[in-house]
Amino acid sequence: MPETPKVAIVTGAARGIGAATAKRLARDGFAVAVLDLDEAACAETVTAIEKEGGRALAVGVDVADAERVEAAVNRVADELGAPLVLVNNAGITRDNLLFKMTDHDWDSVMGVHLRGAFLMSRAVQKHMTAVGWGRIVNLSSTSALGNRGQANYSAAKAGLQGFTKTLAIELGKFGVTVNAVAPGFIATEMTAATAERLGMSFEGFKKASATQIPVARVGEPDDIAHTVSFFASEGAGFVSGQVIYVAGGPKD
């Protein structure tokens, strides 16, 4: 890694997978920019990092807004240093069957997942290519393989895999690797909301889901954070354009 400040940006880092990833990268020695739509919501993640002796900065940003993304990345560069790791984790769900799905349901999900990853990567890559080292990690999902009621989310997560592979080809010669992590069932507020939508208790939903997973448990945010940590490391420099399913068993 070059002799410059080690700075990572994690989007959607106020809670869940993003918060766990931000905390893990801080333990790895990175100063972490904690980005989310609501800057105030990032306080818990920032406080947790600072209590362990790390450096963190809360930044509010709509990742689907090009001007705000540029402003956010510039602020990170000014206050923490040039960001050399980017984790595109921000995401939303607007689940529905195709015939019930609205234009807004589709556009909102595409905007946050695909447009957001595009805008953030475009804004950050100049810092990485300038020093000849960088790591971009995109959060896909097992839903990329298809999932009833998630035509928008599945398409966005599959799109992120193609985006990952293309950026790996384009940015590799500049010392930048680009990979994707595709979680299976992870116990977060998002999956709790799914359980509620299905009329199930969250504990019952997790127990039922675990019976379909070879390792016989659902995942936790730290399971994803550990994998992101590997992709962000110096030792992962010869791994690029890959999608790893972190789902407790094999996926096609």
- Catalytic residue annotation: 153
Q: CA-to-CA distance for 135 and 57, rounded, in angstroms?
A: 19
Which tokens sit at 152? 């928008």
Q: Quick check: 120 and 65 in contact, CB under 8 A?
A: no
Which tokens sit at 186? 């992870």
**Could you give the dihedral angle defined by the CA atoms of residues 14, 51, 186 and 69, in that order, rounded to the nearest 10 degrees?**
30
Return the CA Rg of the chain.
17
Q: DSSP assignment of 61-112, as one string?
A: --TT-HHHHHHHHHHHHHHT--EEEEEE-------B-GGG--HHHHHHHHII
Q: CA-to-CA distance for 167 and 147, rounded, in angstroms?
A: 26
Query: How are the residues of the chain apportioned to helix, strand and coil, as percentages rounded to the nearest 5?
Result: 50, 15, 30
Which tokens sit at 14? 């106020």
